[in-house]
């Protein structure tokens, strides 16, 4: 775990984690089961073009609601709210952290270590079909491409 990831976990354990930005989804992996389930936000178009470099945002819902009350949020066309200072104004709710964690855990259940590319296939499949892929199913999809 890098220092930024450790700081996120430390803030959560103290009850002070308001938000976090992960430069890409791989940075989220070491902390995903150490912080509270909340919505993850990202720019879906960026994800579709390059998922390995798309930033992911995590916002504590209570904090976000308070920020909205104070006038510090914006609302997108989907009626998602997020802080007005976010660099990418095209983010939207994407997956709940618990769902993201389940997708990754199911891949690990085979006893093998999935690559980030395999994780992307499983994440995209879930996002499109609301269904999970097992490790071997991801391998089969990779072999077909």
Q: How far apart are CA 109 and CA 34, in angstroms?
A: 19
> Could you tell me which residues come within 8 angstroms of residue 77 by beta carbon, excluding any fewer than 6 positions away?
none
Six-digit token string for 54:
């798309």
* Beta carbons within 10 angstroms of residue 31's beta carbon: 22
Strands 56-59 and 19-22: antiparallel
Q: Cα 52–57–61 angle (5° rounding)?
A: 150
Residue in this structure with the two tokens 């709710």, named with its chain if needed: 93
Please state the domain extents for the chain: 3-143
Average pLDDT in the chain: 95
pLDDT digits (tens, 9 = 90+) for 23-77: 999 999 999 999 999 999 999 999 999 999 999 999 999 999 999 999 999 999 9
Say what the pLDDT of residue 88 is.
80
Rounded to whole angstroms, the Cα distance separating 142 from 145 reads 5
The answer on pLDDT for 145 being more than 70 is: no
Query: What pTM was computed for the model?
Result: 0.93
Choice among 7-16, 36-45, 86-95, 118-127 with the minimum mean pLDDT? 86-95
DSSP code per residue over 64-113: HHHHHHTT-EEE-TT--EEETT-S-TT-EEEEEHHHHHHHHHHHHTTSS-
């Amino acid at each position: 775990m890098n220092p930024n990831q450790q700081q996120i976990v430390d803030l959560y354990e103290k009850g002070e984690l308001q938000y976090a930005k992960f430069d890409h989804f791989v940075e989220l992996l070491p902390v995903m089961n150490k912080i509270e389930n909340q919505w993850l936000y990202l720019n879906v178009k960026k994800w579709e073009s390059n998922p390995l470099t798309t930033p992911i945002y995590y916002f504590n819902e209570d904090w976000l609601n308070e920020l909205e009350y104070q006038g510090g949020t914006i609302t997108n066309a989907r009626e998602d709210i997020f802080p007005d200072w976010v660099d990418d104004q095209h983010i939207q709710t994407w997956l709940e952290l618990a769902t993201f964690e389940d997708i990754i855990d199911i891949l690990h259940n085979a006893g093998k270590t999935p690559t980030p590319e395999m994780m992307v296939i499983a994440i995209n499949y879930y996002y499109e079909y609301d269904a999970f892929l097992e490790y071997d199913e991801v391998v089969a999809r990779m072999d077909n491409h």
